[in-house]
Structure 1
Amino acid sequence: MSRLLSKERVRDLFLCLALLCATLALLLYPQPAMEAAKSGLKLCYNVIIPALFPFFVLSSLVVELGLAGYLGRLLEGVMRPLFGVNGACASAFALGFIGGYPVGAKTAISLYENGMCTRTEAERLLAFCNNSGPAFILGVVGAGVFASSRVGVLLYLAHAAASVCIGLLFRFYGSGSGSGRQEHAPRPHFQAQRFTVAFTGSIKQSFLSTLNICAFVVFFTVVIQLLIRSGCLPALAGALGTLLAPFGLTPEWAQRLLTGILEISSGVWTLSGDGSLPGRLTMAAFLLGWAGLSVHCQVLSFIGGSGLSVGTYLVGKLLHGGLSALFIAVLVRLIPLEAPVSDYLADQVAGIAGVDFSRALTLSLVSAWVVFLFYLLVAVVAAGKKLGKHRNYML
């Protein structure tokens, strides 16, 4: 008991020291903190809100209206043998690739909370469904950071392939435990609220979720700036660079890595500087797979009191980063990257925070509506088949 109390005291002491240091940093560097907060708010206004809000509404409607259940009947034969989850989980898999993080994770948690998948299935989904969207990798990272559309395609292929591999690996998660054998996969069925109720509830919930994410983005933007100004991040990078010097990691590369571990968008933008192209691509692939502590905090806020395992999610993201880096290292050797740069695409992305709000919102809304109409079409087809079978039975 004394040892436990001692550990708690040590933890509380470190927490108090961290809070004290944060307060001193804000007092010593008020102007840089304000500029960082403004930059984070601009990023949220131009990118985060228009890109995520429509997909949050979509994912909520897909679950609340029972459309995921109809999709589940059609894709049960694919999702079960590949990933060890029922067909309804295909909605989290698809939305995770299209909407970007943390849309896939939020959809997986919603499926679990609505009884459309078991706890083991939800934890498997969290390990591989929280992915970066194609707009971020192809536009921001490929064209904006590396000024090459071909690089963006290679990064997205490596990112997608690593996600699928993680899903294949985690299909065995929980299969040998006693609790896993006692779980029975639910049979998704259309038992939804009225559309007006589901729609208004989805709008409110999605708006709050988007604000929650914006808060984390602004917070980590300020934290990174304060760590740089105070010299803590360069000092940590120097220590890490010295420790990993035998592996070719310099302090500059270590600072890039640490920045990306904290916040994904800030991390990938540091890779637009000097350094070999294969090295920068490998680190970019790892950071995209890992996603950053900012994204992890967003996912943890959604997990809340659901009881789902956080460790499964973090292990999955760490493996995702490692496999993505491995795949891109192989692709760089196989595919030459000296092709002409797409000047038009590169000019469209001058920076993450510089994306036009109306254009981003329009593209996101169109993409969300296309996906929603696809789910609605699947539901209509499934309902028609069910009605036809019922009539044949009656005859």
Structure 2
Amino acid sequence: MLSKLLSRQGVRDLFLGLALLFATLSLMLYPQDSMSAAREGLMLCYNVIIPSLFPFFVLSALVVDLGLAGYIGRALEGFMRPLFNVPGACASAFVLGFVGGYPVGARTALSLYQKGMCTKTEAERLLSFCNNSGPAFILGVVGAGVFASSRVGVLLYLAHAAASICVGLFFRFYRRGKKGREARVSPKFEAERFTTAFTGAVKNSFLSTLNICAFVVFFTVVIRLLFLSGALPALARLLGVLLSPLGFTQEWAERLLTGAIELSSGVWTLSGAGGMAGRMSMAAFMLGWAGLSVHCQVLSFLGGSGLSVRTYIAGKFLHGGLAALFTALLVRLFPLKEPVAAYLAEQVEGIAGIDFSTALTISTTAAWVMWLLFFGAAAAAVRKTSRKRKHAVV
């Protein structure tokens, strides 16, 4: 009934108009709070988003543009095809998605598709599981910051990684019977065009990073206004009533809604009261789902590409559910004590507290290490191919 109602253009326009009116009134009623939230979002971008994402965006662009992904694909075809039913070149998106964090994996998958290294169906399969949270965020921010326990961070990351792989195994059957007719180009390592590839990668990566920062600031303000206006608490009360058979209260419903909209804000709410197992399971769901802010970042890349977002959204929802389930099982297998360092919980007033130079150094170093690993793997694949050709000639 609701889906039929929302399918009508007039009803959608009415809801959109009411939402814009509500946003305008909220900005007029809470101007100082809105500016404060925007400043917090900008500090988050300056201290965390830009230094953590920009180097990996440049790296992912170079890996694809210089043909390294294609060479790596030759070596990893026997691994990626049986498991996920995608070509070996997609291993670059899979690895970068785990190391670089959202939305590096999705952007790399789109680049592979645009370069002809995978078909449309294969790119849609890849999108379902390659866009994941980076280890720095889960181990450092969520584990050490929110839960004041590095062990919690390790368990959450293991559950996150296992759930992502399971989603990839599930979506390998997506349109399995459909034979793709899109041709894949043969990768070429164009060393003489490295300067062109590098300058293009830096320019496009910077624009992509600014695009992401815009969404981060926007959703930081939205979350603040939803709380101040009472809209989010009202929705939480309704959701709490609907989910009361599962033990949900209004507080837990507010946490869930906040994390469903914006991941960083959602995980901070879990530093409060509540059982450790429940808070960890909800954190695992938020990390798997990633939040509407991350989804908008991914959709900004996919716009005009022709790729369906259904597998991406379905994959993220399944990822969140499986991660929560795996976390609950891991907590039963490895019981955790409540964190004793209570003062660490006070550090969760903002991610923006991370030093910019430190974050930039760590991120750039990790990007260079990944670049060297990719280059080494590509070089090994080239040598292996050359030996086979020599033996064939002999």
Alpha-carbon offset, residue 216 of structure 1: 0.2
Q: Partner of 2:273 in structure 1?
A: 274
Q: Distance in 2 between matches of 1:260 and 1:339?
A: 22
The CA deviation at 1:345 is 9.2
Q: Distance in 1 between matches of 2:164 and 2:389?
A: 39
What do you get for the CA RMSD once the two structures are aligned? 2.2
Percent identity between matched residues is 71
Taking a change above 3 Å as real, the CA distance of residues 346 and 61 of structure 1, as seen in their structure-2 partners, is farther
Distance 2:241 2:387 in 1: 70
Tell me what 1:189 maps to.
Answer: 187
Deviation at 1:248, TM superposition (A): 0.7
Which residue does the alignment assign to 1:310? Answer: 309
**Please, which moves more after superposition, 241-250 or 194-203?**
241-250
Map 1:348-367 → 2, pairs under 5 A: 351-367=350-366
Structure-1 residue corresponding to 2:165: 164
> Shift in Å at residue 339 of structure 1?
8.2
Mean alpha-carbon deviation: is it higher for 122-131 or for 4-13?
4-13
CA contact (8 A) 2:5 2:11 kept: no
- The answer for the alignment partner of 1:80 in structure 2 is 81
| Equivalent residue letter for 2:179 | R
Matched residue, 2:126: 125
SS in 2 for 1:181: coil
* Alignment map for 1:286-305 (pairs within 5 Å): 286-305=285-304
What letter is aligned with 1:354? G
Q: List gaps (5 residues or longer) in structure 1.
A: none
After superposition, give the CA deviation of every residue in 1:146-180 in whole Å (9 maximum; x if it has no partner): 0000000000000000000000000000112xxx2
SS of the equivalent of 1:172 reads: coil
Count of aligned pairs between the two proteins: 390
The one-letter amino acid of 1:24's match is L
Contact 2:119 2:180 in 1 (8 A): no
Deviation at 1:190, TM superposition (A): 1.6
In the other structure, the counterpart of 1:62 is: 63
1:17 Cα offset (Å): 1.3
* Cα distance, 1:109–1:30 mapped onto 2, change above 3 Å: same
Q: CA deviation at 1:378?
A: 1.7
Counterpart CA distance in 1 for 2:251 and 2:364 is 39
Q: What is residue 52 of structure 1 aligned with on the other side?
A: 53
SS of 2:179's partner is helix
**How far, CA to CA, are the matches of 2:100 and 2:252 in structure 1?**
30
CA contact (8 A) 1:282 1:326 kept: yes
Q: Distance in 2 between matches of 1:160 and 1:89?
A: 17
Deviation at 1:352, TM superposition (A): 1.2
Aligned-pair CA distance for 1:188: 4.2
Residue 12 of structure 1 deviates from its aligned partner by 1.1
Deviates more, 1:336-345 or 1:291-300: 336-345
Matched, 1:250 2:254: no
Deviation of the 1:340 alpha carbon: 7.3
- Separation (CA, whole Å) in 2 of partners of 1:314 and 1:188: 31
Which amino acid in the other structure matches residue 312 of structure 1? T
Q: Is the 8 A contact 1:144 1:350 kept in 2?
A: no
Task: Give distance in 1, aligned partners of 2:347 and 2:17.
Answer: 45
124-133 vs 180-189, which deviates more? 180-189
State the AA in 1 paired with 2:184. P
Aligned equivalents of 1:345 and 1:66: distance in 2? 45
The SS at the match of 1:147 is coil
**Residue aligning to 2:385:** 386
Structure 1 residues 4 and 233: CA distance shift in structure 2, 3 A: closer
Q: Indicate the SS of the match to 2:307.
A: coil
Matched to 2:197, the amino acid is: A
Look up the equivalent residue of 2:319 and give its one-letter code: H
Aligned counterpart, 2:229: 230
State the alpha-carbon separation in 2 of the partners of residues 130 and 246 from structure 1. 32
For residue 252 of structure 1, what is the amino acid of its counterpart?
Answer: E
**Structure 2 gap ranges (5+):** none
Distance in 1, matches of 2:6 and 2:346, equals: 58
Aligned residue number for residue 322 of structure 1: 321
Partner residue in 2 for 1:148: 149
Partner of 1:208 in structure 2? 207
- Between the aligned partners of 1:245 and 1:173, the Cα distance in structure 2 is 35
Query: In the alignment, is residue 372 of structure 1 matched against residue 371 of structure 2?
Result: yes
Is it true that 1:9 corresponds to 2:10 in the alignment?
A: yes
Paired residue type of 2:181 = E
CA shift at 1:186, angstroms?
2.7
Alpha-carbon offset, residue 382 of structure 1: 2.2
Question: Residue by residue, what CA displacement relative to the aligned partner does 1:349-384 show, whole Å, maximum 9, x if unpaired?
Answer: 874111110000000001000010111112222222
Q: CA 1:6/1:217 → structure 2, altered by over 3 Å: closer, same or farther?
A: closer
Aligned to 1:198: 197
- Does the C-alpha gap of structure 1 residues 374 and 342 become closer, same or farther in structure 2, counting only changes over 3 Å? farther
Verify the 8 A CA contact 2:270 2:283 in the aligned structure 1.
yes
Aligned amino acid, residue 329 of structure 1: A
* Equivalent position of 1:38 in the other structure: 39
CA 6–265 in structure 1, closer or farther in 2 if over 3 Å, else same: closer
